[in-house]
Chains A and B, each alone.
Chain A
């Protein structure tokens, strides 16, 4: 097995939070609010259920094949060639999602603060630092995440507490204004994001208590969901649906509005700090999944030699990504069906169905 490290339950929860939350926090609320307006929180609750469904799927697959990751058991279930094709698809998806994450990571500082700095500077910093963490192995990466996640989330919560002076609860009324269709449409993008929990299957074999995988996946989806709901409701309570849906980075803009006694102002730099730390975590986790996945797909003994060339591929892909407006349009419209139907529900369902029909379990073969 290429990876010998083990992570404990707490680290695994934070790892799956960092797999989804950092980029979801940044720009997803605006898209949900555009569809569902003040009912965005209902959309988010729907998307939590989708996330829980995907988590359940992945965990039942992993329970059938303990000690195996997505790339290994897809081959065992479907046979050699179809399994390799599924693995290749997932490899592409991880690399592409990571390129999108890197692009988003660079966009906030580039668009909001440092417009004269070229994107590529942020790309290279992100890839080099994340690559260093990945090369040092899963344990180093998850310890970094364990250190950073509570700080990031805690700071975010306290910043939103500072916003409470501007809250008006009427902005959430009337409830159910735009009807069910809009709410379901609004749920599409966050569901696509929650479904990225699929990649948690890359880490289940490395839990020191694999039996707790279900608890880890469910807890992390719930934490992400609660966090997203409170962020979105916070934005809505302060600005209402009209203003907040027109922003690219609603969280950033909301925090920018904090002004207490003309003294505590311009705290958005804290958001940039949180974003850099959490963004690195997300890029690192996806990077790790891509590198470990390709090593397992090819049946290699060691994944570390692949870290640097995969970084170059990521750099090229991140360059190819369109500007932030086009990217957000892609993420809002084409990404949910692409990710949800193919990678997050479709292939896992086929794998689970096939393994149930063929009655294969990891232990017997």
Chain B
């Protein structure tokens, strides 16, 4: 699973990065890398079976007083 993910990352990088460098689109390259890093941080731990903090639960906790009204 992890190997497949890393393969996908490499494929995406090979697919996008050369043309970005050729066209000198450095801003796009930076945004691309940041998103890819966020994606790695989200997917690889989950593929290894590590539970990440769940944003849905955080939102639920933030809006608990209002959510209780809709019970």
Contact = CB atoms under 8 A, between A and B. Distances in A.
Interface of A: 35, 96, 185, 188-189, 294-295, 298-302, 305-306, 308-313, 315-317, 319-322, 326-327, 330, 332-334, 336-338, 341
Contact of A300 (B28, B46, B52, B54): B28
Q: Is the interface of A mostly helix, strand, loop or mixed?
A: helix
A216 to B, nearest CB: 30
B9 to A, nearest CB: 7
Interface of B: 8-9, 12, 15-16, 20, 25, 27-29, 31-32, 35-36, 38-43, 46, 52, 54-57, 59-60, 62-64, 66-71
State the 7 A-B residue pairs at the shortest beta-carbon distance, nearest first. Answer: A316-B42, A312-B39, A309-B35, A337-B66, A333-B67, A309-B36, A316-B43
Contacts of A96: 55-56
Given A316-B38, A337-B63, 7 more contacts: A185-B70, A305-B20, A305-B31, A306-B28, A308-B16, A333-B68, A334-B67
Contact of B12 (A298, A308, A321, A336): A308
Contact of A330 (B20, B42, B60, B69): B60
11 contacts: A96-B56, A294-B31, A294-B35, A295-B31, A305-B16, A310-B39, A312-B43, A319-B43, A320-B46, A333-B67, A337-B63
Contacts of B9: 312
Which of B35, B38, B66, B69: most chain A CB closer than 10 A? B35
B66 A309 contact: no
Nearest to A321: B56
B14 to A, nearest CB: 11
B70 to A, nearest CB: 5
A319 B42 contact: yes
Nearest to B31: A298
Given A185-B70, A312-B40, A334 B31 contact: no
